[in-house]
C-alpha cells in the first residue's frame, strides 16, 4: 500500500474571483464549517480549499502518476470504479493496474470520509461513483464539443440515471508547478434564467416544457438496466431518466451554441494552485477546465433526499418551473 502524506506546501491564497460570484472559501476546521459548506455546495457554489483537506499520496507516488501514466493512457481519463474494483483507461500489466487502483481507491475513501464527517446526513445516501486521474493538459486538446472540458457546461447524463440526485465532484490539483484554470458563467439558477428558453427546456413564459419524472416505460427500462448491472456493474451508466435527458439538453446547448459561447455574462476565471482542492455540485455550477495537467477527481452521487437545502437542487429548480407550478423535490 502506498504511503500518504499532507503536501508540504504553504496554503495558497484564494483565487481572485473569490471576491464575488460562485466561489466560496471555507475553513474546514471552523466550528460552523459543516453548515457553511452544506449551504455553499447545495446553493450551487464552488467550495475552495487553499490546501487539500485530505491526505495525498507521497511525492514518489505522485511523480509516478505524473510520469508513468500518461504514456499508458487508453481513454480520456484513468478511473477506479469501486463497483467491481476495476481500473479503466490504462494500458499496462497487473502491477501497474494494481498500484494505480490502490492509489485511486485510497483517495476516494479519504474524500468520502471527509464528506461523511462534514455532512453526516449524507452517509448512507450516496452512491460512490469513480476516482479518476487526469494526466493530460486540458488546453488545446482539440476534442469534439461534447467531449471538451474547455467549453463551459454543466454536468449531465454521464453517470446513468440520477433522476434528480446530485453530481458531487472533488478536485485536487496535483501538478507540482502549474495552476489549474477554470471558468464559469454562473450557477444553474443563472443558466435557466438566461438560456432555458433558447435551450428548449423552458417555453417563452419561462415554464418547463419537458417532463422530469419517470413514466412506467422509464421504470421498466431502469429495471432492465439494473438486472444487467448485476452481471456487469458498469452497465448502470446505460440507464437514463426524463430528468437526466432534460439536463443533458441544457449541457449540449451550452457546448454547441455559438450564441452561448459569445455571451460573457457572469464570466469568471479561477486559478487553483498546486495541491489546492475544490468541491462542487457540477450539475449546479457552469464550469470549464481551461488549462492544467494532473488532477485527481472524485465523483459521488448524492441523493436529493439527503440535502439540507433541497430547494436549490436542479430537480427542484426545474420542478418549480413546471406548468402546474408544483415542486416534487
Which CATH number characterizes residue 177's domain?
Answer: 2.60.120
Model confidence at 100, pLDDT cuts 50, 70, 90, reads very high
pTM: 0.88
Q: What is the number of structural domains in the chain?
A: 1
Q: Compute the radius of gyration of the chain from its Cα atoms.
A: 19
Q: Is the pLDDT of residue 108 over 50?
A: yes
Would you state the pLDDT for residue 41?
96
Supply the range of the domain harboring residue 197: 4-319
Q: Over the stretch 223-268, which tens digit does the pLDDT of each residue have? A: 776 676 666 666 566 667 899 999 999 999 999 999 999 999 999 9
Element (H, E) at 216: helix 216-229
Residue 326 domain-assigned (yes or no): no
Q: Is residue 325 part of a domain?
A: no
* Residue at 328 is within a domain: no
Q: Which of 305, 295, 257, 263 is nearest to 127 (CA)?
A: 305
Is 327 inside any structural domain? no
Is residue 180 packed enough to be buried (19+ CB in 10 Å), middle (13-18) or exposed (0-12)?
A: buried
Which helix (H) or strand (E) is 83 found in, with range? none
Query: In the predicted model, what is the mean pLDDT of the chain?
Result: 87
pLDDT band at 145 (very low <50, low <70, confident <90, very high): confident
Does residue 276 register a pLDDT over 60? yes
Amino acid at each position: 500500500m502506498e504511503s500518504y502524506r499532507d503536501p508540504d506546501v504553504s496554503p495558497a491564497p484564494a483565487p481572485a474571483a473569490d471576491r464575488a460570484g460562485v466561489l466560496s472559501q471555507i475553513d474546514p476546521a471552523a466550528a460552523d464549517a459543516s453548515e457553511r459548506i452544506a449551504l455553499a455546495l447545495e446553493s450551487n457554489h464552488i467550495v475552495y480549499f487553499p490546501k487539500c483537506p485530505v491526505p495525498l499520496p507521497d511525492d514518489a507516488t505522485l511523480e509516478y502518476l505524473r510520469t508513468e501514466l500518461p504514456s499508458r493512457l487508453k481513454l480520456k481519463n484513468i478511473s477506479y470504479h469501486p463497483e467491481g474494483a476495476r481500473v479503466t483507461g490504462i494500458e499496462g500489466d497487473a502491477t501497474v493496474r494494481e498500484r494505480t487502483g490502490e492509489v485511486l481507491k485510497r483517495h476516494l475513501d479519504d474524500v468520502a470520509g471527509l464528506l461523511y464527517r462534514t455532512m453526516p446526513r449524507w452517509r448512507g445516501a450516496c452512491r460512490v461513483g469513480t476516482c479518476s486521474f487526469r494526466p493530460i493538459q486540458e488546453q488545446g486538446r482539440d476534442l469534439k464539443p461534447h467531449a471538451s472540458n474547455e467549453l463551459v457546461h454543466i454536468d449531465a447524463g454521464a453517470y446513468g440515471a440520477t433522476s434528480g440526485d446530485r453530481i458531487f465532484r472533488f478536485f485536487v490539483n496535483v501538478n507540482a508547478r502549474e495552476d489549474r484554470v477554470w471558468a464559469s458563467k454562473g450557477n444553474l439558477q443563472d443558466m435557466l434564467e438566461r438560456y432555458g428558453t433558447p435551450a428548449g427546456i423552458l417555453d417563452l413564459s419561462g415554464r418547463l416544457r419537458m417532463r422530469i419524472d419517470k413514466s412506467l416505460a422509464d421504470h421498466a427500462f431502469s429495471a432492465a438496466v439494473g438486472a444487467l448491472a448485476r452481471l456487469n456493474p458498469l452497465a448502470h451508466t446505460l440507464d437514463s431518466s426524463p430528468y437526466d435527458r432534460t439536463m443533458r439538453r441544457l449541457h449540449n446547448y451550452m457546448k454547441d451554441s455559438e450564441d452561448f459561447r459569445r455571451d460573457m455574462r457572469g464570466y469568471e476565471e479561477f486559478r487553483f494552485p498546486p495541491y489546492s482542492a475544490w468541491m462542487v455540485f457540477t450539475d449546479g455550477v457552469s464550469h470549464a477546465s481551461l488549462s492544467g495537467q494532473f488532477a485527481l477527481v472524485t465523483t459521488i452521487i448524492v441523493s436529493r433526499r439527503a440535502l439540507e437545502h433541497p430547494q436549490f437542487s436542479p430537480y427542484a429548480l426545474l420542478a418549480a418551473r413546471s406548468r402546474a407550478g408544483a415542486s416534487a423535490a
